[in-house]
Structures are given as C-alpha cells and as structure tokens.
Amino acid sequence: MSDEVVLALDAMGGDSAPDMVIEGVAIVRQRFPKARFLLFGDEVRLKELLAKHPDAAEVSTIRHAPDAVSGDARPSQVLRTGRKSSMWMAIDAVAKGEAQGVVSAGNTGALMAVSKFVLRTVPGIDRPAIAGLFPSQRGETVMLDLGANVDCNANNLVEFAIMGEVFCRIVLGIERPSVGILNVGSEDLKGNSAVKTAHSILKSHHMQLSFHGFVEGTDIGAGTVDVIVTDGFTGNVALKTVEGTAKMFSRFLKESFSHSLLAKIGYLLSRPALERLKHRADPRRYNGAMFLGLNGITVKSHGGTDALGFANAVGVAIDLVCQNFNDKIKEELAHLAEEPVAPQVASL
C-alpha cells in the first residue's frame, strides 16, 4: 500500500452518522494504519466524538461543513443548493486533489448527481454505474448497474462490462473474471435489443475479456459468472429482490424453529452453525457500492449501516485507490479504441 492514501469522508451521511463514521475510522485504522481521513461535517460534534476516540483522531482532520444532505432530498435540489453540505465538500476535496477518494452513507441519488457534476466521467465512459458485491454459492459476484441508470443502451452495457471486469480483478483479486449479461434466458435470441447488441459487441470485439454470454436471475445466487452486467432498473430490482428473499427465508427459518420444543432444542444445538450462516450472508460484509466511471473514487455505504459496515466500505475505497482503479479502466478503454477494424484492401 502506498503511504499517501487520503480519503474524504462525508461524516454526516447515514442513519447513525456521525457516530458510526468515527467508530468506522477507528476500525479501519487497524486494517490500514497508514490511511488518513478528512472528515466533513459539523465541527463541534465531530470534535466531541474524536475526543472519545483518540485512535480515530490521530488519523483524522476535521473540515467544517455547515450543511448536511437529508436522506429524502431530491438530487436536483442538492445540485442547486448543496454546495455547503458535508457530502458536496467531501466530493470537492477529491476534485481538488486533497483526497483520492470519497465515502458517504448518505442519499444515493444526491451522491451520484454531485459526484457526476463535480468529478465528471472518465473520458470514453458515457455514464457512471453503481457496482456492488453479492454473496453466491461460489463466493462473491460483482453486479452493475445497481440503479444509477434506469434506461441503458448497448454501449452503456459494454462500458459496464469493461468497468465491472476491472473492478472485480481489483476488489476480488480474480485474475481473469468471467462476465455475463443478465437476460430472461441464456439463448442468444432472447432479450431486448440493448442486451442483444451488447452481447454481439462483447462476443466479437473484446477477446481479452472472458465473456460468458447471457445469464439469468438464478445465476446471481449460483455464482455462474464473476461479473453480471445489467441496466440500473433491473439491477436495482434484483439487488432488492435478493435482500427481500433472504429476509423472508430468515423469518421462515426462525418461525420453523419456534414451532415445537424439539425444534427449539435443535436450534440451541445448531446455533453456532446458524451463526455461521448469518455471518456468511451478513449484508455488512457486502457493504460499499462503488460508483464506477468517475474521475475519482466514490464509494456509497448503505444508509442504515453501522461502524463495521462503514469500515468495510472505506476498505473498498482504499483498495481501489491503491490499485489505481481509474488508470486501469483508462487502459482497458485505450485497448478498445485500438481494436483492429475490418482489413481494408489497398486500392491499386
């Protein structure tokens, strides 16, 4: 790890902010002792909290922000009036080169809108995407877009594939990740025109990318591929469907165990095993949705997260900074531009 990682943190974003942000810094310091943090938020409150967490204080600098973006604020409104908010100022620190990345547990729509406005997209990327990690039977899967773009064309999907593949290599350490496009069937003839065109582009033009073809909803849990590409509407529904199904299953399981005395005894004996299951599906382990395609690292932590989840999101940001994520995306895009076109016959 480089010595100079500095991250800007939106200390006022999230249901349990700013407390969980400070506690998160204390946790993350154990894993990344050399990282430093700029904390944007209410100076008085942050000072009080840091006084209680000297370990966090040692690696933090407070930057006062008079405003905070509320969870239900419209992105367009934040763009007009949010310049003095902790979120905006934290993003601005990345644009100014004071920090290499920003982490916020605040309003997702506002974070995307302001990041796009302040940081701009990487040359060659039309639209940024939100990427996240999903648990699967084979380990973990990257999926994008999770909600930044409700309407996507084929080129957007191709760009998501390139960015998702680089993200997967860095964050999961998979050397040659397989990439699939989410569709309603795995046959080539199914789907809407965007996925069909993206399929044929990826099949013919990107031979350095390990393209699997189409995958279906069942493949998310099965872990058939390492990276799943989809539009932001479908991706967001899939993300929340996984969440809702897991919750339903947990509740059914709980009710089953409380159904008889024997089952209750069985539950007590099985508890360590069930805790293992709980840990495996712990949403905090999968916290940290990354905004890919911007000139700067922006990581969104779940709004309802605690300090441990926030620390994981900060860890993802540090990984991306240290591995020069954006430079790698630019390299991939340069490869793409160099792709040989159909050979031309010289005119004699």
Contacting residue, 85, 100, 104, 234, with a second copy by CB under 8 A = 234
Q: What CA–CA distance (Å, rounded) separates 87 from 66?
A: 11
- Using CB under 8 A as the criterion, what x/- string covers residues 260-299 for binding a second copy? x-xx-xxxxxxxxxx-xx--xx------------------
In the complex, least distance from residue 263 CB atom to a second copy, rounded to whole angstroms = 4
Q: Residue 101 is inside which H or E element, if any?
A: strand 101-104
- Using CB under 8 A as the criterion, what x/- string covers residues 144-173 for binding a second copy? ---x--xx----------------------
Q: What CA–CA distance (Å, rounded) separates 290 from 166?
A: 12
In the complex, least distance from residue 173 CB atom to a second copy, rounded to whole angstroms = 22
Beta carbon nearer to a second copy, 136 or 326: 136
188 is a contact residue toward a second copy (CB under 8 A):
no
Q: What CA–CA distance (Å, rounded) separates 60 from 56?
A: 6
In the complex, least distance from residue 288 CB atom to a second copy, rounded to whole angstroms = 19
Q: What CA–CA distance (Å, rounded) separates 259 from 202?
A: 52
Q: How many CB atoms lie within 10 A of CB 331?
A: 12
Contacting residue, 1, 184, 207, 334, with a second copy by CB under 8 A = 184
52 is a contact residue toward a second copy (CB under 8 A):
no
12 is a contact residue toward a second copy (CB under 8 A):
no
The tokens for 175 are 């050397």
The alpha helices in the chain, defined as continuous H runs, are 19-31, 43-52, 54-57, 75-81, 86-95, 108-119, 154-172, 193-205, 218-222, 232-257, 261-280, 307-322, 325-338
**Residue 231, helix vs strand vs coil:** coil
Binding site for a second copy (CB under 8 A): 72, 74, 135-137, 147, 150-151, 182, 184, 187, 189-192, 216-222, 230, 232-234, 236-249, 251-253, 256-257, 259-260, 262-263, 265-274, 276-277, 280-281
